[in-house]
Structure 1
Amino acid sequence: MSPISCHSSAAPAMKKIFSVSEFIAFGERYGIDYRFPALPQYTQSSPVLHGDIEEIALPGGICITRSDVHVLQPYETTSRHSSPLYMLVVLEGNVALAVNEQTFLLSAGMAFCSQLSEQQTIRAHHGADSKLRTLSLGMYPDGGWRERLPVSLADEWERSAASARVWQVPEFLLSGLRYAQQPGPHAASRQLMLEGTMLQLLGYALNLCQPATQKRGLPVTGEYQRLELIRRLLEQTPEKAYTLNELARRAAMSPSSLRCKFRHTYGCTVFDYLRDCRLARARRYLMEGYSVQQAAWMSGYQHATNFATAFRRRYGCSPGELRDASLTASRHCA
């Protein structure tokens, strides 16, 4: 719901109405400015959202906030406090963010991370009558968080996190996050699962930020260079039609070797990676204002129906809904 807002070690989830007065109290306590554009004459008791919010404060100043809410009134936030890390994962719905002059739209299955400071603030817009399920991780700037992370991870994050980043969360991490939120697990075990999966997500984000030659600690061998050639080919021209045999010839490997080594190196199959590249490109085209049919065709989909099905499965909304939300977000974050 908002950057860094933890106050208990394992506060139980609460299903309730959150009013303007509670938002104002949050803002004073955690350094967040709130605006309610549809309530120019609001009262302290005006309802803003309804749902469950669970806050988990971990040792070292690391906070995880789980939100499952229905937005009743549109509201906007602006961060005022500094933090070495703020990370947001969207599991359902859309979140419009602006970092300085850069605008982002996150849909289901996507993550965002950034440092917060006076020079780098985050503004967010949440539309009315929208459903949101999110997880956020924040670190307080007192340095205690460094003791909770492996030294190499903490150092790498401080070197890499100056700019804001958005990426698609791998399915295996999304599955872990969903499982950790189910009501079945004991509270303590669920907290450990959430913490572990969020830290895995941070590690994955760092891997994306590193140069290709440093990723996964792999030596720059001829084999790795050939795998990178295939990965870059799929990433740069996902609209083309590929076969495993053709890609294997390009990599000078057998099809079975390419299938096995690509998955071992990048954590997904060749064609799962191609699908994600196509959907990511289509998403970008939609956010630029292209029609659903144009975005599908330019990203390698021959049938708009197949594209719409894959897009909804990946992002939790239809291509048309994302396009409309992007246009709305651009107006609000301008």
Structure 2
Amino acid sequence: MNNATSRHPSRTFSVSEFMDFGERYGIDYRFPMLLQKPELPHASPVLQGEVEEMTLPCGMCVTHSDVQVLQPYETTSRHSSPLYMLVVLEGCVRLTLNGQDHVLRSGMAFSSRLSEHQTMRARHPADCKLRTLSLGLYPDGAWRTGMLESLIREWETCQTPTLIWQVPGFLLSGLQYAQKCAPGSVPRQLMLEGLILQLFGHGLSVCQAERGQRLAASGEQQRLEMIRRLLEQAPENDYTLNELAQRAAMSPSSLRGKFRAVYGCSVFDYLRDCRLERARGFLLEGYSVQQAAWMSGYQHATNFSTAFRRRYGFPPGDVLKLC
């Protein structure tokens, strides 16, 4: 079993290096700047940061990126994978699959099957920080026996070609902790393998629940999405379950159960994550911890600091230091 790890320390990645990545992983890259200025050399920088590639003993191919995007670029997948997952730990990724656009923000995961008939396109604007985990199983990989093969079969029965879901906080915290271990070390690989299997397991449970929810009326689905967007767009407001249930024309217990079934987390776990992501943006803009907490819906900075550390793995006061 191959468990080799390849880590590129913090450095700048050029257009020509991206072309090498593309040949290795079956990805087409497009650089709008080169189209506008063909005279730019292929040594032009695209990313700055760290990229780590590894194949875990279970057969899962993992790429961890912690980078700053220096110039915009787009990707189009050409490889096949019976199950692919992208986890956004920080930043925002815009994807297109089968003509449908998707936006992934911090703490969200995207799962799909990739093939020549189902290609994925991603767009990355300049001047943004991006930290992601890219997880893939490839047709000739070593996963064809054991748990992952069972996972593939279960996923196929859900008949859900694309799934976007919120990653639970405990898994995000675990991933943060695992990244602190020495690259290539056995403890780190064991932790990552366990966490990644949990990621796929949680995604599968969301997928199965979503399949059941397809039987619900489309009007009900729209009302749930209305609640989700309300929480995302105005997380600083105070909400009660009864108030949200009235807006969704459901009983509180129905809203609680159906929201979790569709989005993979409770109403107020989702609200907490939206508030913390809003607060992180304020901190990056230079606001104090107290100001960011208040503007994001927290009445007490202590409660905010505790929730922020649990979500991101470091205190809110360290946000600018880690950028």
What TM-score does the superposition give when structure 1 sets the normalisation length?
0.65
Equivalent residue for 1:182?
180
CA contact (8 A) 1:96 1:105 kept: yes
| Number of residue pairs the alignment of both structures matches | 255
Q: Secondary structure at the match of 1:134?
A: strand
Over residues 200-248 of structure 1, what are the superposed CA-to-partner deviations in whole Å (9 max), with x where a residue is unaligned?
Answer: 0100011011148999xxxxxxxxxxxxxxxxx99886776237xx9xx
Residues 17, 140 of structure 1: alpha-carbon distance in 2 compared, 3 angstrom cutoff: same
Match of 1:241 in 2: 240
Offset at residue 59 of structure 1 (A): 3.9
From 11, 15, 18, the equivalent of 2:10 is 15
Report the CA distance between 1:165 and its aligned residue.
1.1
Quickly say closer, same or farther: Cα 1:118–1:235, change in 2 above 3 A: closer
Within 5 Å, give how 1:111-150 maps onto structure 2.
Answer: 111-142=109-140, 144-149=142-147
Q: CA deviation at 1:274?
A: 2.2
Please state how far the C-alpha of 1:84 moved relative to its aligned partner: 0.6
Match of 1:155 among 142, 153, 156: 153
Residue in 1 aligned with 2:49? 51
Q: Does the 8 Å contact 1:146/1:154 carry over to 2?
A: no
Task: Give, in angstroms, the shift of residue 166 of structure 1.
Answer: 0.8
Matches within 5 A, 1:163-202: 163-183=161-181, 187-202=185-200
Q: CA deviation at 1:194?
A: 1.0
Provide the residue aligned with 2:103 in structure 1.
105
Q: CA deviation at 1:20?
A: 0.6
Q: CA deviation at 1:124?
A: 0.3
The residue aligned with 1:33 is 28
Aligned residue in 1 for 2:60: 62
Q: Which amino acid in the other structure matches residue 139 of structure 1? A: L
**How far 1:85 sits from its partner (Å)?**
1.2
Whole-angstrom CA distance in 2 between matches of 1:156 and 1:33? 30
Instruction: Check 1:235–1:278 CA distance in 2 against 1; reply closer, same or farther (3 A cut).
Output: farther
Contact 2:82-2:152 within 8 A present in 1 as well: no
Deviation at 1:25, TM superposition (A): 1.3
Alignment check: 8 A CA contact 2:159 2:211 kept: no
Against the structure 1 CA distance between its residues 103 and 236, is the aligned structure 2 distance closer, same or farther, given a 3 Å change threshold? Answer: closer
Deviation sequence 1:43-102 (CA, Å, 0-9, x none): 221111111111111246420111101111100000011111110111111111111211
- 1:79 is aligned to 77
Could you tell me how far apart the structure 2 residues matched to 1:90 and 1:189 are? 23
- Post-superposition Cα deviations, 1:125-158, rounded to whole Å, max 9, x if no partner, equal 0111111111111111126323252554232023
1:105 is paired with a residue whose SS is strand
Secondary structure of the equivalent of 1:147? coil
Within 2, Cα distance between the matches of 1:15 and 1:160? 40
CA distance in 1, matches of 2:14, 2:23: 15
TM alignment of 1:88-103, pairs within 5 A: 88-103=86-101
Q: Secondary structure at the match of 1:38?
A: helix
2:295 aligns with 305
Q: Which runs of structure 1 show a deviation greater than 6 angstroms over 4 or more consecutive aligned residues? A: 212-215, 233-236, 279-282
Query: What's the secondary structure of 2:5's corresponding residue?
Result: coil
Gaps (5+ residues) in structure 2?
214-222, 231-238, 246-250, 276-292, 313-323
- Matching residue of 2:280: none
Q: Whole-Å Cα distance in 1 between the matches of residues 212 and 114 of structure 2?
A: 26
Equivalent-residue separation in structure 1 for 2:76 and 2:23 (angstroms): 12
CA contact (8 A) 2:93 2:122 kept: yes
For residues 250 and 48 of structure 1, the distance between their equivalents in structure 2, rounded to whole angstroms, comes to 49
1:233-273 deviation digits (Å, cap 9, x = unpaired): 99886776237xx9xx977xxxxxxxxxx9xxx8xxxxx82
Q: Is the 8 A contact 1:109 1:315 kept in 2?
A: no
Equivalent position SS for 1:198: helix
1:195, distance to aligned residue in structure 2 (A):
1.4
Match of 2:267 in 1: 274
Q: Is the 8 A contact 2:3 2:57 kept in 1?
A: no
> In the alignment, is the contact (CA less than 8 A) between 1:234 and 1:274 conserved in 2?
no
For residue 182 of structure 1, give the secondary structure of its aligned residue in structure 2. Answer: coil
Counterpart in the other structure of 2:218:
none
With the length of structure 2 as denominator, give the TM-score of the two structures: 0.67
